Structure 1
Amino acid sequence: MDICGHATLASAHVLFSNGLVGSSDIVEFATQSGILIAKRVPEKGSFLVELSLPEILTCEYNSNDVSMFSKALSGATIVDIKGTTTDSAVLKALNGVAKATSTDKIIVVLSSWEAVAELQPRTDDIMKCPGKVMIVTAAAPEGSVYDFCSRLFAPKLGLIEDSACGSAHCALAHYWSLKMNKCDFVAYTASRRSGELKVHYDKEKQRVLLTGKAVTVMNGSVLV
């Protein structure tokens, strides 16, 4: 995986919790996506972790068969389909000229929050759809404390559904920023376990800041 929010968050949490970085509030990880930065954010009696991840840009997606995606999502009404790219030059070339025909991540926008939350995906049909990852999302209803919700399905990668995906929000931040004309969001992952993320999209630095909390559930020892 080029970006794994779970691994980055968990690693930073362990390093901070066990004093393995001294008094530093910042840890930098060298990854396939460049330097990922984790920052300790004090909270009463504990702390949060803010991850600085690279943006993933959304672009027009040339799909001539929306019915394929709708079938995979049990007949859900699809409002929009987007592709993704990490190359801003590619995005500029696509605007008004062409549409992406292949992408690792596909964003499928549904008509309502309820449609995402109550969705019963058809894994076999998702396997037939383009892309390695399918991100399903919708705006939150008026008056909600959240801005949008999402779910992520990646059976091609051996993951039926992710509980809360950090890298997905690198793309969702760009998409919803364009739709809502804002850069700060409270996002909800409508998986069985569910999850909540604070999201800030820094357009100038081309970074997405995700703030969340980790909990240590197991300690172990290795005898050598």
Structure 2
Amino acid sequence: MKQKIYQIDAFTDRLFGGNPAAVCIMDSWLDRGLMQKIAEENNLAETAFAVKKGDTYELRWFTPETEVDLCGHATLATAFVLFNYYGITENTIQFYSPRSGELNVKKGANGWMTLDFPTDPIVAIRNIAELDNAIGLTPIKTLKGKTDYVMVYNSQQEIEAIQPNFHLLNQLDCRGVIITAPGDDVDFVSRFFAPKCGIPEDPVTGSAHTSLTPYWSEVLGKTKLTAKQLSKRQGNLVCEYLGNRVKISGKAVPYLFGEIDI
């Protein structure tokens, strides 16, 4: 069996920036174990698999170690593939995730695409000593979302300087840890660590911005915000808070087209 595969750099307008994702558009679902092996072989933060069902594309995402509930950059990459290589003429692609419900991506001007995702409500909690030790710097505030912790700091310089202990992070009961602060030239910056999912530091995490956008929208008193993820590859996003939904916009560029011999 031959299966086309694409590798796309998402949330960037330059090659080797943003977050690389693999994309497989399939006629029908493969066995879950086989999809996990493909994701492990790709060894990227996420591999997205999509199957067309009527007017909707069902969508699932796998890290090298597990299937995840939601992935922004791989959804953006999948939309890029469909818009550019599968003859999609409409401006909006409807996706459905068995784990996260209805999602869509709208094509805008000058290469921009916009994700429409459910908001992840976050609540303030007491600082957790194990979490502070793993990150190596006590935050001014700790919050908890559906799957991630959010740690808030004072400055972009603090975010850039943090060197977490990944062994300690891997022992925490969560998908990942988001660290964030006001940005120097954007509204807010962040980094994301998820060693338990096989991703020590994710280059750009769309799903993390479903938590970050409502928080910074309230703090800064505005609904539309600019954001940057401060990984080595870096990524740029524009986010809009709409209550129970979040819009997350970015660009993408192609890196690789290939074929899997299964």
| TM-score tier (shorter) | 0.7 to 0.9
| Matching residue within 174, 195, 200 for 1:160 | 200
Alignment of 1:77 with 2:138, yes or no, is: yes
Alignment of 1:214 with 2:257, yes or no, is: no
Determine if contact 1:107/1:134 at 8 Å carries over to the other structure. yes
Q: Shift in Å at residue 27 of structure 1?
A: 0.3
| Matching residue within 65, 70, 73 for 1:6 | 73
| Matching residue within 101, 105, 129 for 1:38 | 105
Provide TM-score, normalisation by structure 2.
0.70
One-letter amino acid matched to 1:37 = N
Q: Secondary structure, in 3 states, of the residue corresponding to 2:133?
A: helix
Could you give the per-residue CA deviations for residues 55-91 of structure 1, whole angstroms, max 9, x where no partner exists?
011112244xx332222122x2310000114xxxxxx
Alignment of 1:29 with 2:95, yes or no, is: yes
Any gaps of 5 or more consecutive residues in structure 2? 1-67
Provide closer, same or farther for how the CA distance between residues 39 and 78 of structure 1 changes in structure 2, counting only shifts above 3 A: same
Q: Secondary structure, in 3 states, of the residue corresponding to 2:193?
A: strand
Q: Secondary structure, in 3 states, of the residue corresponding to 1:209?
A: strand
Determine if contact 2:190/2:229 at 8 Å carries over to the other structure. yes
Q: Shift in Å at residue 148 of structure 1?
A: 0.6
| Matching residue within 51, 56, 72 for 2:120 | 56
Provide closer, same or farther for how the CA distance between residues 221 and 83 of structure 1 changes in structure 2, counting only shifts above 3 A: closer
Partner Cα separation in structure 2 for residue 48 and residue 114 of structure 1: 29
Match of residue 124 from structure 1: 167
Q: Secondary structure, in 3 states, of the residue corresponding to 1:120?
A: coil
Match of residue 236 from structure 2: 196
Q: Shift in Å at residue 48 of structure 1?
A: 1.4
Q: Secondary structure, in 3 states, of the residue corresponding to 1:178?
A: helix
Q: Shift in Å at residue 222 of structure 1?
A: 6.2
Q: Which of structure 1's runs of 4+ aligned residues deviate more than 4 A?
A: 221-224
Partner Cα separation in structure 2 for residue 37 and residue 189 of structure 1: 22
Provide closer, same or farther for how the CA distance between residues 18 and 62 of structure 1 changes in structure 2, counting only shifts above 3 A: same
Greater share of strand: 2
Q: Secondary structure, in 3 states, of the residue corresponding to 1:7?
A: helix
Q: Shift in Å at residue 111 of structure 1?
A: 2.4
Determine if contact 2:124/2:143 at 8 Å carries over to the other structure. yes
Determine if contact 1:105/1:133 at 8 Å carries over to the other structure. yes
Q: Shift in Å at residue 219 of structure 1?
A: 1.6
Could you give the per-residue CA deviations for residues 35-56 of structure 1, whole angstroms, max 9, x where no partner exists?
110111121xxx2111101101
Q: Secondary structure, in 3 states, of the residue corresponding to 2:211?
A: helix
Partner Cα separation in structure 1 for residue 108 and residue 117 of structure 2: 16
Match of residue 16 from structure 2: none
CA RMSD of aligned residues (A): 1.7
Q: Which has the higher contact order (CA 8 A, sep 6+)?
A: 2
Q: Secondary structure, in 3 states, of the residue corresponding to 1:161?
A: strand
Q: Secondary structure, in 3 states, of the residue corresponding to 2:222?
A: coil
Q: Secondary structure, in 3 states, of the residue corresponding to 1:57?
A: coil
Could you give the per-residue CA deviations for residues 158-213 of structure 1, whole angstroms, max 9, x where no partner exists?
1101000000000001111121111111101011111110001112xx11111101
Provide closer, same or farther for how the CA distance between residues 222 and 114 of structure 1 changes in structure 2, counting only shifts above 3 A: closer
Determine if contact 1:60/1:82 at 8 Å carries over to the other structure. yes
- Using the aligned pairs only, state the percent identity: 31
